[in-house]
Amino acid sequence: MEKLKNYLIELLSENARYSYAQLAAITSTDEKTVEKAVKELEDDGVIVKYAAILNTEALPQKKVQALIEVKVAPQKLKGFDSYAEEIYSFKEVSSLYLMSGVFDLAVFVEGKDITDIARFVSERLSVIDGITSVSTHFILKRYKIEGQITKPSEERQRQLIQA
């Protein structure tokens, strides 16, 4: 069952829209077994969410995205978790990671414009007690998102031919 689950993770990572019937055909397994394995992956928290990966540059209503590096003074007996819980509760935060290196947390945020992000940093994030510094980096262009190249395939093909 573990081998099947690993294969299903790989397949669903490529395309979360596969039906149980399609997954069963690809894995040479019956549909009920596939459905049970996927349900177990969901129940165990391995599969957290199914979502469309969007190229925000192609959306009609533009958004601004930023990576904010945050350095904190860990709280006694709580470490970084209490900071993470406070930060991830903000609606602007799309992703949050504990990191190694100079900064402790990598916070990905979205807003309508640069002013939204600036307001978030100055009024919500930097006022949290124990945050010692922040560094904001605006995402200017996304070339690859979650393993997917953002250029249409025909545009990529033209570049290969010209090279």
Per-residue confidence at 163, pLDDT binned at 50, 70, 90? low
pLDDT at residue 77, as a whole number? 75
pTM tops 0.85, yes or no:
no
- How high does pLDDT run on average in the chain? 89
What structural domains does the chain harbor?
2-43 (1.10.10.10), 56-144 (3.30.70.920)
Q: With CA atoms as reference, report the closest residue to 101 among 139, 76, 69.
A: 69
pLDDT at residue 154, as a whole number? 61
- The Cα–Cα gap between 24 and 81 comes to 40
The tens digit of pLDDT for each residue in 35-89 reads 999 999 999 999 998 888 777 777 788 889 999 999 999 777 778 999 999 999 9
Q: Which two tokens stand for residue 100?
A: 């190694």
- The Cα–Cα gap between 120 and 146 comes to 25
- The Cα–Cα gap between 31 and 85 comes to 39
Please answer whether residues 107 and 68 qualify as being in contact, where contact means their C-beta atoms are separated by less than 8 angstroms.
yes
- pLDDT beyond 90 at 110: yes
